[in-house]
């Protein structure tokens, strides 16, 4: 099989991962982060007052790096008792966001399952809630 020479990018094309640089002659591709795509199937239901690394270590998860709406992010996706969870930490943030599959309706039960697996109590919560219901700070946490 012979090789096909692929032409380089057009000179006026911006990086496909930079969404703000759109115009009439812009790059036709818009690159999406695998992590952002995966986490997009979930919703944030709370946050934990600890960095991601020790949480991932507790569950022996592999942390992946990518980018999201706020820049660089570390995340791990996993399942416990048929519930899909995601833990993510944006660079510069002091908390870890907890995500669950959008089909999950009992967020308190999902948080309880996660906290039990992590060996933590409710004192580890920084906040709980969703974008739709609003976020409630827990344990004296402030954003």
| pLDDT for 22 | 58
Using CA atoms, how far apart are residues 37 and 42, in angstroms rounded to an integer? 9
Could you tell me which residue, 22 or 69, shows the higher pLDDT?
69
C-alpha gyration radius of the chain: 19
Could you tell me which residue, 137 or 13, shows the higher pLDDT?
137
Name the residue range of residue 65's domain.
Answer: 34-137
Judging by DSSP bridges, how do beta strands 125-130 and 134-137 pair with one another? antiparallel
- Assign 32 a pLDDT band (cuts: 50, 70, 90): low
For residues 104 and 83, the answer to whether their CB atoms sit within 8 Å is yes
Beta bridge mates, 24: none
In a domain, 21, yes or no: no
Total of domains in the chain: 1
In a domain, 6, yes or no: no
Q: Which of 105, 98, 136, 102 is nearest to 120 (CA)?
A: 98
**Once rounded to an integer, what is the mean pLDDT over residues 37-44?**
82
Q: Is the pLDDT of residue 117 over 90?
A: yes
Strands (DSSP E) contained in 22-70 are 42-48, 64-68
């Amino acid at each position: 099989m012979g090789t096909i020479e692929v032409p380089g990018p057009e000179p006026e094309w911006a990086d496909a991962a930079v969404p703000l640089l759109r115009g009439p002659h812009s790059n036709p591709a818009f690159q999406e982060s695998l992590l952002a795509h995966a986490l997009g199937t979930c919703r944030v239901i709370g946050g934990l007052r600890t960095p991601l690394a020790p949480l991932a270590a507790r569950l022996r998860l592999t942390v992946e790096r990518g980018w999201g709406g706020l820049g660089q992010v570390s995340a791990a996706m996993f399942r416990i008792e048929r519930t899909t969870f995601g833990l993510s930490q944006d660079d510069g943030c002091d908390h870890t966001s907890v995500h669950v599959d959008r089909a999950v309706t009992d967020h308190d039960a999902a948080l309880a399952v996660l906290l039990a697996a992590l060996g933590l109590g409710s004192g580890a919560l920084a906040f709980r809630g969703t974008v739709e219901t609003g976020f409630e700070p827990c344990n004296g946490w402030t954003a």
